Structure 1
Amino acid sequence: MELAPPILKAIAEQGYTTPTPIQQQAIPVILQGRDILAGAQTGTGKTAGFALPLLQLLQNQPRPTLPRPTRVLVLVPTRELASQVYESFKAYGRHLPFITEQIFGGVNINTQIKRLAKGADILVATPGRLLDLMYQKKVDLSQVQHFVLDEADRMLDMGFIKDIRKIIQALPDKRQNLMFSATYEKEIKVLASQLLHDPVEVSVARDNKAADKIKQTIYPVSKEDKRELLSWLIGHGHWQQVLIFVRTKHGADRLVRQLIKDGIRSIALHGNKSQAARNRALQAFKQGEVTALVATDIAARGLDIEQLPHVVNFDLPSVAEDYVHRIGRTGRAGHEGEAISLVSPEEAYLLHGIEKLLKTKLPRVADTGYAPVSLDNIKKPASKPRPRRAGGAQKKNW
């Protein structure tokens, strides 16, 4: 693929020998300087698909003096993904003289300002913190040559579209644009038409298709029996590593307390925790110090855990697309994985939405060991009216 020896050396040191399909398609196009619209599920190697050719394009240029102008800007939706992309650039560029920095919220902005004093050839950023630093004139994007919008669909889901447009306005008109998205919703196509110039489209999986190497199973079970069933699955299966998704931060903390009582080493990962605490939780999980990582959807994207064998949806996501992103934490880079969803009758309508998206009915376990429940009623349960405070317009009826 016409990559320089220092880059090939770094790839070999990572233990990679053969490019993935998205890398085979994207790298030559990016090296040609073309804009690209890439559809790739998580775990397909898409980060290397843009990091490797961008490092090569920088390598082809004379090295600028300090402070380094930012020539590559990678915009990502979450802190976790920022760290993952940053580490990838550092690993693949370890034998090259480039400065790579990452900026995101939740940590001291002054520390990041100090780190940016020497400039950065490659800057990986989340939109909010990048705008903060732009307003303080601590970041100059006037010399950006390559702009990467990673996980564009997630960006839109999280309401970043206005921030993205402000950042794009600060970029030079003449630049290469690379846009990566797991799904091609209508809004993504509109954004692509505005951002990209005569793009090459590449795709390695049909829209919203879950990874082929992930075994997906549904356990119909009452809400009250979920925790006990989860503990049994972990213990009976001798699981050493499982990522468990819940809907709320309080639900994550509560489930961790319950699993610890059951003798399962567990830790929570959610937005109420500081960045340092989130890093510690993830590190403890990766190093095998805890068995269960209980996370909200903040971890659905950007977590890169090698050969993660099990993902459990303790609560189904309220957005069907998030199911694909959640289970995509396993079955990565050609490895097999298992995704189990514990589904109560109240969540049957959410399961129906997921199966409609995937265009397939997911297999159910006939005998869970608990009282059988039906998932046939796919009508959304009516929300219970919230009680009014005393003194409100509505008279209390005890």
Structure 2
Amino acid sequence: MPFKKLHPHLQEKLEIQEITTPTAFQKKSIPLIKSGANVYCMAPKDSGKTTSLILTTIQKLKCEAVGDAPRAVVLVENKAKALELYDAFLKFTKHTTLRVYVGYEELHIDVQKSEIFMGTDILISTPKSMNKLFLLNGVHISHLKIFSIDDAEFLTQQSAYKAMMSIAQSMKKCQYVIYSEKMHPKLKRFESYFMEYPKTVTLK
């Protein structure tokens, strides 16, 4: 059972939210992501992909703050998705020292730089905003452990795809996990760039 092997804090939060049984997708994906592999996670809507993302990210960081630089990055399509995911993370990071920060294009880049500099563990961002942070040296990624992309279909759009490719070129080695409903040729193409030896979880 994937939940039984998670940090006790996460088990407690799942219990509070009355999530007692992993979905079929979570049974397949959580152990694989915990192993440290690069993973493509393909499953329909409401399969538990976002909860898997949150649990494995927090598990990777051992439920505690370390240093000032982000150790986990989550890429999302837009501001609305970023804020929604931020709220979802807070349900699990409450009563831990973990710091979650959310950035998006509408928030001035200098504000983002200064606030991230004050210390963050999990950075939620959009492709354009993240790319701009990298180009301006606004975020240090030397301690990055895991880079996840939620509902990654948006990366099939040319501007988002280009931003992601630029981000990947700035990155040092870390674990990548891509969540989407189905595999798209553009997502598959990432294998040639940063998704080294990926595993695939598919739930139809």
TM-score (norm 1): 0.47
Question: 1:227-277: per-residue Cα shift (whole Å, max 9, x none)?
Answer: xxxxxxxxxxxxxxxxxxxxxxxxxxxxxxxxxxxxxxxxxxxxxxxxxxx
Name the one with the larger helix percent: 2
Partners of 2:37 and 2:199 within 8 A in 1: yes
Aligned length in residues: 201
Shift of 1:85: 1.9
Shift of 1:127: 1.1
CA RMSD of aligned residues (A): 1.9
Name the CA distance, whole Å, in 2 between partners of 1:126 and 1:97. Answer: 24
Q: How does 1:341-352 map to 2 (within 5 A)?
A: none
Secondary structure at the residue paired with 2:159?
A: coil
**Counterpart residue identity of residue 156, structure 2:** L
**Counterpart residue identity of residue 94, structure 2:** R
1:74: which partner in 2? 74
Task: Determine which structure has more spread, i.e. the larger CA radius of gyration.
Answer: 1
Partners of 1:7 and 1:95 within 8 A in 2: no
1:178 aligns with 2:177: yes
- More relative contact order, 1 or 2 (CA 8 Å, 6+ apart): 2
Question: 1:187-238: per-residue Cα shift (whole Å, max 9, x none)?
Answer: 2222244331222211122xxxxxxxxxxxxxxxxxxxxxxxxxxxxxxxxx
**Counterpart residue identity of residue 88, structure 2:** S
1:99 aligns with 2:77: no
Name the CA distance, whole Å, in 1 between partners of 2:191 and 2:183. Answer: 10
Shift of 1:148: 0.9
In the TM superposition, structure 1's runs of 4+ consecutive aligned residues that sit over 4 Å from their partners are none
* Gap change, CA 1:193 and 1:151, over 3 Å in 2: farther
Q: How does 1:237-252 map to 2 (within 5 A)?
A: none
1:45: which partner in 2? 48
Partners of 2:148 and 2:178 within 8 A in 1: yes
Name the CA distance, whole Å, in 2 between partners of 1:85 and 1:35. Answer: 21
Question: 1:81-103: per-residue Cα shift (whole Å, max 9, x none)?
Answer: 21222222221121321111010
Partners of 1:179 and 1:192 within 8 A in 2: no
Partners of 1:75 and 1:124 within 8 A in 2: yes
Partners of 1:73 and 1:146 within 8 A in 2: yes
1:130 aligns with 2:130: yes
Shift of 1:135: 2.7
Secondary structure at the residue paired with 1:18?
A: coil
**Counterpart residue identity of residue 45, structure 2:** T
Unaligned 5+ runs, structure 2: none
Shift of 1:26: 0.9
Secondary structure at the residue paired with 2:193?
A: helix
Shift of 1:106: 1.6
Partners of 1:148 and 1:179 within 8 A in 2: yes
Partners of 2:26 and 2:52 within 8 A in 1: yes
Q: How does 1:1-398 map to 2 (within 5 A)?
A: 1=2, 2-59=5-62, 63-65=65-67, 68-157=68-157, 159-173=159-173, 175-205=174-204
Percent of residue pairs bearing the same amino acid type: 25
Question: 1:22-79: per-residue Cα shift (whole Å, max 9, x none)?
Answer: 211111111111111111223222011121022112118x8523xx121111111121
Name the CA distance, whole Å, in 1 between partners of 2:95 and 2:10. Answer: 7
Partners of 2:38 and 2:176 within 8 A in 1: yes
Secondary structure at the residue paired with 1:159?
A: helix
Unaligned 5+ runs, structure 1: 206-398
Partners of 2:131 and 2:164 within 8 A in 1: no
TM-score (norm 2): 0.89
